[in-house]
């Protein structure tokens, strides 16, 4: 899975702090502080979560939905990953 346009990642799954352009830091900050993301930022964050879950040996059956989730749905999904699978991509 390649990264979103304008971003440079190494091997997946990647951690947001390893992203080379520095853009992920602002997107993650806005997400964690519950600030609205614009469409591009939301698409990048969806990709980020998707690549994490796709790399998991055991993952939720509905993980493909990540690519169409709203910001609120993504926030709930992040909590589900933490509670049910013990991972926190952020």
Mean pLDDT, residues 12-22 taken together: 68
**Domain range for residue 23?**
16-85
In a domain, 22, yes or no: yes
Residue 10's pLDDT band (boundaries 50, 70, 90)?
A: low
In a domain, 30, yes or no: yes
In a domain, 9, yes or no: no
In a domain, 56, yes or no: yes
User: How many domains does the structure of the chain reveal?
Assistant: 1
In a domain, 11, yes or no: no
Percentage above 70 pLDDT, the chain: 81
In a domain, 42, yes or no: yes
Assess whether pLDDT exceeds 60 at residue 2.
no
Report which of 55, 89, 33, 28 is spatially closest to residue 80, judged by C-alpha positions. Answer: 89
For 27-66, write each residue's pLDDT tens digit: 999 999 999 999 999 999 998 899 888 888 888 888 899 9
């Amino acid at each position: 899975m390649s990264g979103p346009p304008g971003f440079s990642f190494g091997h997946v799954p990647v951690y947001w702090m390893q992203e080379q352009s520095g853009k992920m830091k602002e997107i993650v900050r806005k997400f964690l502080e519950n600030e609205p993301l614009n469409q591009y930022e939301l698409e990048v964050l969806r990709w980020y979560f998707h690549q994490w879950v796709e790399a998991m040996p055991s993952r939720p059956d509905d993980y493909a939905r990540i690519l169409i989730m709203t910001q609120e749905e993504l926030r709930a999904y992040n909590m589900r990953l933490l509670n049910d699978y013990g991972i926190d991509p952020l």
